[in-house]
Structure 1
């Protein structure tokens, strides 16, 4: 562990079938007005909305609702939520949904009392938060982003076509999060597997960097093995509680952000996908998968030993009689077979991209990178490969 780090995570996790029983005791720590933030109605269909509102009312809380939060939350939606917070003097934002709902809640938390344009100040200029922050809590219904236990918030500014994220300090983390794997049973398979690759991508972004022997890499390999096994079972049996609970907890661990400690990290796949999402509004995990395959086939040579380790320890590739290059590429090939076995999208056309969009996406992507910092031209070439993928 050669890089110094400070780690703090104040989120309390309530995990399991009876996790919602803890909501009442937590509500006692906050004022009378609760904003209930959620998506487009799934929690009403599965009965969770009725359960949560009943608990809020039983505890004497006034409920302010913000519904309709989209899969890629927009800055316009954040501003709508901020206005409600100010007008109603909201004491706690309770996000019920997946990572997008929780990301939006955190964005509202830091933006509601910002006196200037919050997107510019906090997401583009990365200024410290110097205004009042409204506490956030969450009830998770979709595993993938890890937003339930981190300060991350990815927002799309639709006016300027920029989708970008920021990991805020720990005081923006949800104060508590309720995780019942049963809440994920009713998700469409498309959303479940999209979230699954998202959590895998979080781990790989941290993994593919550095040449030292870091404890974090061993943890990442173990989590990836768990996710791969659980995903295969969950696709065939979505109501298997054990594998869905493993996926939910793996997602939380993957981005909380303990797995990246003492790592330089990469994050270029996410940066490219963010701009893909800004133009197509595609499912985040699907976009990540489509970009990851050509991206890793391009950069593997710059971090060859790590890609060999990845192939052996994560995908079980036998290196006997093979060059490092062959082993590394075989690992990516096995990952591609897994992606297709699970029904994860690998073609940008299927995600709504057009050929005309590709240079716009490439030129607006923030250039980061672990083993290699790509140019906009190199990113465009990767996008073209993903656009024509079979």
Structure 2
């Protein structure tokens, strides 16, 4: 196990109707709030009215900025930064899923730092502070409600990049599983895949003697898969949503990555799909991750055998390590198929025209300082290109 320094300041407020307390919880922290959200779903479900009523009841002044799209755009972030500065906003409340929360975090970053906020994503430099943020989660998936990172798409440059610091972690996040009852099947499936891969990016490692976190990862993955299948048949099952929602937060709040080298190749490889083709992140991960697993598993076959046996239930009677590992990958793909997720780039209407371009962008090859991706196996652009071809 590696040395680590883990901190998580986010207060989690969990349960039915908890979103209606947001004004009371916010009051000690804020005098003027930016209310940030996506499309019309929070209005059609009544969540918007509940939030507005709670803010007004607690005499909290606010301005609004809606319009966040999946794969949140830098252009709207810049609009939000300008609004926060002009209106003297001192707190941002994100009501939405991961895209809204990531957009809010980036606005918070830009409002407290001079210059182009995109530079933080390009250079990973330290910042001089950020406005505090909090969230009301409307889609459990990305885990951004308790994470220190954000992912933003620069639509002009067709780049999707991440940035993270502890001062971006939300002050509190409200999770009401009942809000998720109206989510369509494709969003449930994409969200389930996203949170599973958040765990797997941490789980697959070359670090030895990580038994406790291995077990937590495996248990969380099995909990997600079990309850995802329940929701596929009954999307108003409160207990199943409670398990999924909590698992999504645990998957990405940093706990499951302590003491171990992490990977993150699948996310970086998928980001090119989202940036160029505007693919839903979870759908892209369902295609990319099994291809990545197939390409790298021999580098640390024992870890993939462990996954196959402890998570996917492969019988050790297979005996041969390669067969066990590959059977585990096959069963993961079967689960994704059962959730009606795409399994090939072809399913996402992506052909081979831009695969080499995406591989070179993912590794920053053309800068002359190529960034190798991954932890289990270090991947250059040619490796990434091969993984894309496996995913066709």
1:353 maps to 350
Structure 2 unaligned regions, length at least 5: 364-371
Contact kept? 2:296, 2:376, Cα under 8 Å:
yes
2:154 is the alignment partner of 1:154: no
Distance in 1 between residues matched to 2:53 and 2:108, nearest whole Å: 24
Post-superposition shift, 1:373? Answer: 1.1
Cα deviation, 1:269-309, whole Å, max 9, x if unaligned, reads: 00001111100111101100100111101111001000000
Structure 1 unaligned regions, length at least 5: none
Higher mean C-alpha deviation, range 46-55 or range 12-21: 12-21
Distance in 2 between residues matched to 1:351 and 1:167, nearest whole Å: 29
Distance in 2 between residues matched to 1:311 and 1:144, nearest whole Å: 23
2:366 maps to none
2:209 maps to 213
Higher mean C-alpha deviation, range 71-80 or range 366-375: 366-375
The alignment partner of 1:4 has SS state of coil
2:347 is the alignment partner of 1:342: no
TM-score (structure 2 length as normaliser): 0.95
2:31 is the alignment partner of 1:32: yes
Distance in 2 between residues matched to 1:300 and 1:210, nearest whole Å: 11
Q: Aligned-residue CA RMSD in angstroms?
A: 1.2
1:286 maps to 283
The 5 A counterparts of 1:117-156 are 117-120=116-119, 122-130=120-128, 132-156=129-153
1:76 maps to 75
1:273 maps to 270
Distance in 2 between residues matched to 1:330 and 1:208, nearest whole Å: 16
Q: How many pairs were matched up? A: 383
Distance in 2 between residues matched to 1:7 and 1:22, nearest whole Å: 29
- Out of 228, 253, 258, the residue aligned to residue 255 of structure 2 is 258
Post-superposition shift, 1:61? Answer: 2.1
Post-superposition shift, 1:21? Answer: 4.2
Distance in 2 between residues matched to 1:266 and 1:289, nearest whole Å: 16
Contact kept? 2:20, 2:50, Cα under 8 Å:
no
1:176 maps to 172
Runs of 4+ in 1 over 4 A off after TM superposition: none
Flag the 1:211–1:89 CA change in 2: closer, same or farther, 3 A.
closer
Contact kept? 1:139, 1:177, Cα under 8 Å:
yes
Higher mean C-alpha deviation, range 198-207 or range 156-165: 156-165
Contact kept? 1:282, 1:352, Cα under 8 Å:
no
Contact kept? 1:37, 1:105, Cα under 8 Å:
yes
Post-superposition shift, 1:78? Answer: 0.8
1:326 maps to 323
The alignment partner of 2:182 has SS state of coil
Contact kept? 1:106, 1:151, Cα under 8 Å:
no
1:247 maps to 244
Post-superposition shift, 1:211? Answer: 4.3
Contact kept? 2:262, 2:375, Cα under 8 Å:
yes
- Out of 185, 188, 207, the residue aligned to residue 189 of structure 1 is 185
Post-superposition shift, 1:156? Answer: 0.7
The 5 A counterparts of 1:221-236 are 221-236=218-233
1:94 maps to 93
Distance in 2 between residues matched to 1:187 and 1:123, nearest whole Å: 31
